[in-house]
Amino acid sequence: MVAAAMFRAAAMVMLLALSLSACQAQLSSTFYAETCPNALSTIRTSIRSAIARERRMAASLIRLHFHDCFVQGCDASILLEDSPSITSERSVLQNLNSVRGFEVIEQAKSAVENVCPGVVSCADILAVAARDASEYVGGPLWTVNLGRRDSTDASPSLAARDLPRFTDSLQTLINLFETKGLSERDMVALSGSHTIGQARCVTFRGRIYNNASDIDAGFASTRRRNCPATAPNGDGNLAPLDLVTPNQFDNNYFRNLLQRRGLLQSDQVLFSGGSSDSIVNEYSRNPSTFSSDFASAMVKMGDIEPLTGSPGIIRRICSRVN
C-alpha cells in the first residue's frame, strides 16, 4: 500500500513537472511584460524609422520573417553570417541577393539591448518587425506570440529544400506549406504579401519572354522595358510585384492575378485553373477577408517550431553566436 501510494505521488510529481515544462515552452503575447516591458515599443520605433527611410523595407522585413520560419522553425537562423563553424543560409538560391533588412533587425536589436540587455531574442524581433511593417504600410495588425529563442546554427541544406522558388508549381507550393502545418488557404493569404515589394529581373525574365497564355501581353511588354532578355544583363533590375499600388498593403495583388498580371510564375499559378482559384477570387472581392486571413496565417507561421525554454540562446548580436 505504501509503495503504491509513493508510486502514485511520484507519478503526480512527474506529471506536474511535465505540465509546467509544457506551459513554459508555450509562446505568449505577454512574455516580456515583466522582463522587458518596453521591448515592443522600442522595436516598433526602430522599424517605423527604417520603413520611413525606405518604403520597400516593409516587404523585405515580412519576407525575412517568412524565410526564417520555413527553415528549422522561427529561430533567427537566417540572420547568422558565415563563420568558421557556421555556413549561412543567405547564400542559397532562394535567398542569394534577395533577402534583405538584416541591418534593420540589428538596429532594432541594439535599441532593445540598450533597454534590457540579454532578454529579447532576435527571433522575436523578426516576428514583431513583420507585424509592425505590415501595419506601417496599411496592412493588418495581429498579436505576436513571444518567447522564441535563437538558434546556434544555420542550415543551408534545409533552406534550399524548404523555401519556395519563383518557378514552383501550385502543387509544390501547397506541399511545401503543408509540411509546415499551413493550409492551402494560408499559402494563398501569405502570398498576398506580394502586394508590396519588388522582384529582380532574373526571377521573372522567363515569364515575361515566354509568350505563354497565362500572362497579359501588355503587362509582359511593360516589364520587358527594364528586364533585358539575355542574362546576366539587368539581372538585378527591379520591378514592383504589384503594378498598381506597390507601396500599399491591399488586395490588388489578387486582382492582378485575375488579369494575368502576376509578376512571378509562382504568383500566377495561384490563379491558373487550379484549386486555389476560388481563394484568389474571394480575396480579390473581399479585402477584409484577405486582411483577416493574412493576419491569422502570419500568427500560424510565427508558431512554426520555435525554440523555447532552455534550448537555444539569446544572441547579443543577431548575425553571430555569442
In DSSP notation, 187-209 reads HHHHHGGGGS-EEEHHHHHHHHH
Which conformational region is residue 197 in: left (phi greater than 0), alpha (psi within -120 to 50 degrees), or beta? left
Report how far residue 10's alpha carbon sits from residue 61's, in angstroms, rounded to the nearest whole number: 48
Residue 229 near residue 205 (C-beta atoms within 8 A): yes
- 45 in a known ligand binding site: no
Tell me, yes or no, if 67 is annotated catalytic. yes
Partnered with residue 307 across adjacent β-strands are 149
Residue 156 near residue 257 (C-beta atoms within 8 A): no
- 293 in a known ligand binding site: no
User: 3-state DSSP: the chain helix, strand, coil percent, rounded to 5?
Assistant: 55, 5, 45
- 77 in a known ligand binding site: yes
Residue 88 near residue 82 (C-beta atoms within 8 A): yes
- 250 in a known ligand binding site: yes
- 184 in a known ligand binding site: no
Report how far residue 210's alpha carbon sits from residue 213's, in angstroms, rounded to the nearest whole number: 9
In DSSP notation, 271-315 reads GSSSTTHHHHHHHHH-HHHHHHHHHHHHHHHHTSS-B-SSSSB--
Catalytic pick from 56, 63, 65, 67? 67
- 289 in a known ligand binding site: no
- 242 in a known ligand binding site: yes
- 194 in a known ligand binding site: yes
Q: What angle do CA 282, 276, 189 make, to 5 degrees?
A: 65
Burial class (CB within 10 angstroms; exposed 0-12, middle 13-18, buried 19+) of 226 = exposed
- 104 in a known ligand binding site: no
| Binding site feature residues for substrate | 164
| Binding site feature residues | 68, 71, 73, 75, 77, 89, 164, 194-195, 242, 245, 250
Q: Which residues are catalytic, by number? A: 67
| Binding site feature residues for Ca(2+) | 68, 71, 73, 75, 77, 89, 195, 242, 245, 250
